[in-house]
């Protein structure tokens, strides 16, 4: 992956992953976050259904979806699953509350959820959940 700014191919691959992952658990927030002084960004996926009890099973689903997508712009080892009560998830949800209806948000060189970041790309909310 490019170690510069988040690129459109990476963002699009993340969106395709999220479309599939939402079939497994509802996603409250999802965003790419590149910490200050870090090489590559990570795709954070927040769900109130991700717990300590199913964390390993959820990561197995990440790997399964990555295999199905077979996208060179998506690295499953860049995915970080977090609960909806995580400070980063709360920061993402706060942005969605303050700016409802935005398709996506991008931030540069700010503090996000208590972390100094170079870049954050926040996917739109609500993230559509496929009908069951």
- Encode pLDDT of 78-131 as tens digits: 999 999 999 999 999 999 888 887 778 898 988 999 999 999 999 987 554 433
What are the tens digits of pLDDT across the range 17-67?
999 999 999 999 999 999 987 778 999 999 999 999 999 999 999 999 999
Q: Is residue 131 part of a domain?
A: no
pLDDT in tens, 114-126: 999 999 999 987 5
List Cβ<8 Å contacts ≥24 apart for 70-78. 71/13, 71/16, 71/17, 73/1, 73/7, 73/9, 73/10, 73/12, 73/13, 74/10, 74/13, 74/14, 74/16, 74/17, 75/1, 78/1, 78/40, 78/41, 78/42, 78/43
Q: Is residue 128 a part of any domain in this protein?
A: no
| Enclosing domain of residue 12 | 8-123
- 3 found inside a domain: no
Structure confidence at residue 6 (pLDDT): 65
Q: How many domains, in total, are found in the chain?
A: 1
Residue 102 lies in a domain: yes
Query: 130 lies in a domain?
Result: no
Is residue 93 in a domain?
A: yes
**129, part of any domain:** no
Give residue 128's pLDDT: 47
């Amino acid at each position: 992956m490019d170690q510069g700014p988040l690129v459109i191919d990476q963002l699009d691959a993340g969106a395709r992953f999220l479309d599939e992952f939402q079939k497994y658990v509802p996603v409250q927030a999802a965003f790419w976050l590149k910490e200050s002084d870090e090489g590559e960004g990570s795709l954070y996926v927040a769900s109130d259904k991700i717990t300590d009890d199913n964390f390993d099973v959820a990561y197995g689903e990440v790997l399964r979806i990555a295999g199905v997508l077979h996208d060179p712009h998506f690295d499953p080892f860049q995915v970080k699953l977090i609960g909806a009560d995580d400070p980063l998830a709360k920061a993402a949800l706060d942005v969605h509350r303050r700016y409802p209806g935005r398709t996506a948000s991008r931030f540069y060189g700010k503090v996000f959820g208590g972390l100094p970041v170079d870049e954050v790309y926040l996917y739109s909310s609500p993230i559509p959940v496929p009908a069951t």
